[in-house]
Copies of this chain bind each other. A is one copy, B any other.
Amino acid sequence: MSIWFTEKQTENFGITAKVKQTYVAEQTDFQELQLVETEEWGNMLILDDMVMTTEKDEFVYHEMLAHVPLFTHPNPKDVLIVGGGDGGVIREVLKHESVEKVTLVEIDGKVIDYSKKYLPKIASGFDNERVEVKVEDGFMYIANSEKAFDVIMVDSTEPVGPAVNLFSQGFYAGISKALKDDGVFVAQTDNPWFKADLIKQVYQDVQQIFPVTRLYTANIPTYPSGLWTFTLGSKVHDPKKVKAERFPDMESKYYTPDIHFASFVLPKFVKDLTE
């Protein structure tokens, strides 16, 4: 018996992974949620038929979403995560001693519940006393916040389903308002091979609101094309001008101080999207 999960990353291309067992296959109030054990990647969280995270490669996404903005801000204390119900970004944020409070706003409580049960190494930070979890709409939460956060991270699904508002210029304007005067924000912004137009649009939208706008990349093998982008918007601090002494020793598997800077060096066809 041989069961394979196939994600169509485009209409005409996809990845396929052998499944050992299915733990969860459920329609939540917001999306279709699957949690399966795969042979190659360990346990895998799938939302609306898209791979969200796997035990084997999750460290890349979570380290790169968290540490780049947190080392860009000189003294991050109040951090907001929009989405991120698997807990991986929380785990990475908690490595920063300056951070006094992490607020996670996830629209779908089921993602949190099942991640705690089936992805315990990813969802390891939920019980930390510095963490507050709110199960509500991130878009509305942002709209009701003012000068509250040093760093905001948008750890969303693709711009379909519940996350569609999180790729709008109104959302970025709300983020700017919710950030303190020297705040930094970052969002995952898909891949340049299949979603070049999306990256270009988000970059332009963010650039109209934030004085410092930067695109950076990381290799995530279970995400479409293996080359993922992150768009960073900052009111003051430039991630490309971080001082070396800002980097303490920190346990990591992908991120290093050298990778911090190299991740902003874009292949020509990706750089062209920002010009």
Interface positions of A (Cβ within 8 A of B): 6, 10-18, 38-41, 57, 60, 193, 217-221, 224-227, 252-256, 258-259, 261-262, 265-269, 271
Contact = CB atoms under 8 A, between A and B. Distances in A.
A226 B57 CA distance: 13
Contact of A269 (B14, B40, B254): B254
Contacts of A252: 268
B14 A16 contact: yes
A8 to B, nearest CB: 9
12 contacts: A12-B17, A13-B38, A15-B15, A57-B193, A219-B227, A219-B267, A221-B226, A226-B227, A253-B267, A254-B268, A259-B265, A259-B268
Chain A, interface SS category? mixed
Contacts of A261: 265
Nearest to A2: B12
B268 A253 contact: yes
Contacts of A269: 253-254
Contacts of A224: 221
Contact of A11 (B39, B221, B271): B39
Contact of A15 (B11, B16, B253, B259): B16
The 10 closest A-B pairs by CB, nearest first: A226-B226, A12-B39, A262-B265, A221-B225, A13-B40, A12-B18, A219-B227, A12-B40, A262-B262, A254-B267
